[in-house]
Structure 1
Amino acid sequence: MKTYSLLAFLLSTQLIWVSAVFTSEDAQYNETEARMLLNLAAGAYASDATACVQRTFSSNENQMIISQFSVKCDFFGNPCAGYIIVSEVLQQITVVFRGTKTNSQLLLEGWTTLKPSADFYGIGLVNTYFKKGHEKTWDYVASALNHTNYLNYDVYVTGHSLGGALAALAAPRIVHEGLRQSQQVKIITFGEPRVGNLDFSHGYDQLVPYSFRVTHAIDVVPHLPACVKDLSYTPPAGSDGSKPCDPTSTNGGYHHAMEIWYPGNMTQGSQYMVCTGLPRDEDFSCSDAPKVDLNDTTLGVWDHRNYFGVEVPDFGKGGCDPSMTFAGPPTKTGIGALVSSVLGKRK
């Protein structure tokens, strides 16, 4: 397993990544690793991710940004973007995708569409917008992985929100096309929406065993697009009436494994759940349990933008400066507060 230095938490703002190769232990969730990748996912929101990269890694790892990309994702000109880091010292590539950039993109992503409808290389059906974004960014990923200097390097893939969705398509395709073996790819995403249907979920789980979807409290985005609910389930008296996803239906959205749910805050040492319960990949004891009130998702959107104590887009734009401070959860509700929470400060 790649080992991680907790000393960095005590001595500096840098987190130290020590060289090794993926082993079976990498199939276990590592919060130190997740916090590092959250820094990188935040950095994707900046015009230049260099500051976040430098604050995340120690200099002796020689982590270099070898590619930054931004392509038009739709007819509004909204971008699908990201960057790629390589460490020849660690023989490691990290692919980072950026989340939603504008409000028009938020709508076009189709998080509220009824069901995935685009075939993804025979693995299963996926969201059409996500697939289009994947196709427009794939060449940058494939080029890095096929570079003669980096052949056989282990690959990390990460992203927040839309970036998580793009990461969740890149990772299985890397394995599906034989660019890397399953054990050479590890993915951690944050606030990822449902990318595909049940068939895609099953295919994904076989291709990418080292996979973790980190979710925060009642983050609304992992609930979208909706799954088909199990109508045979009877909610207990006094509950909010929520029903689990139907683990047999291929019609709606369905998550892949493995969810890591933080039901409260995400400060250092906060409790989290490794969600291995039923239904498979949609554990009803984790984030899917609370019923989402679509009439007021203000807090759910705040939870989506805030991971590990930082407001992800602003943190990245600020160069992942650990001295940055952020406002707490919203106290106001309603459409005005929702719009403000979704869009934040436009920069």
Structure 2
Amino acid sequence: MPTPIHNPIVLQRADPCVLRHAGEYYLTGSHPAYDRIVLRRAATLDGLQAADEVTVWRRPGSGPQSHLIWAPELHRVNQAWYLYYAAAPDEEVTSDDGEADPTFNHRVYCLECRDEDPLTGTWVDRGQVDTGWESFALDATSVVLDGVQHLVWAQQDLAIKGHSNIYIARMRNPWTLATPAVLLTRPEHDWETVTFWVNEGPSVLVKNGKVSLTYSASGTGTEYAMGLLTADADADLLDPASWTKSPDPVLASDASVGIYGPGHNSFTETPEGETVLVYHARTYTRLDGDPLWEPNRHACAQVLPFDADGRPVWGRPAALTRPVPATAALLSPEGTMV
């Protein structure tokens, strides 16, 4: 009988990415100080909370990668490790009228480690991933299909209403695109446009001949929810016509179990081969101050079942079985307690 998963699997780690490799689980996610990239490793999902956390990269003191390090993802491609993450420059952005521009100015970056152990190995900065145009870009994920790597990410197009859309491209190498970006989804439904017009945080699951591409939408409070695109695994994934978009969210806040704003997910599996859905969520609705610095988005996980036709049965967020902080311990932008 599979070992039950106790939630949260890790406290105060938003945007969780869990990868199972060689029988061990690796976890990364946004650090509440947004100034570093951290990794944990454990033999079980339940062991990740107590596992030592290793900082494998810190933001530089200045330059384009020196501010607000968001949503790192760990991937294994061609016997090497890769971390994709979003970062912003330290200089103030101004609008055309010379006023300070509150828009985030992130771009996607890549780190590479060719050592066997990503926690102790050397990480090499491969720089910005050129996505084809310069605008707010974040939340890159990777999927290899039939030996070909694809990048999926969120980016703003100023010609499209909203803050970010989801794009896909094939890759020449893990930090270079081989094809132009293809738009897969943009905010259009009511549930995708609460507070912010956002499609972000994509993740890809390939199983039973289908590709499930999940993403998250709206603001990061209780309105945050997960959406879904599906395609046949043998289809041309760079053809938007290959994809079907669900009109409704597949995972959303559930007051009956005290889970709010579930989203920015990843996928892993149990030792028995069951698919596991990993996501972050808050456990209360009142947010004091800037929600960006509210650290209590916790990494949660639950087995994702499939129906007789091999389609995921998304269901509802699982109830918590571990204690969580009752209130937020707010962090300043420097990562210190306030």
TM-score (norm 1): 0.31
Which structure: greater strand fraction?
Answer: 2
Which structure: greater helix fraction?
Answer: 1
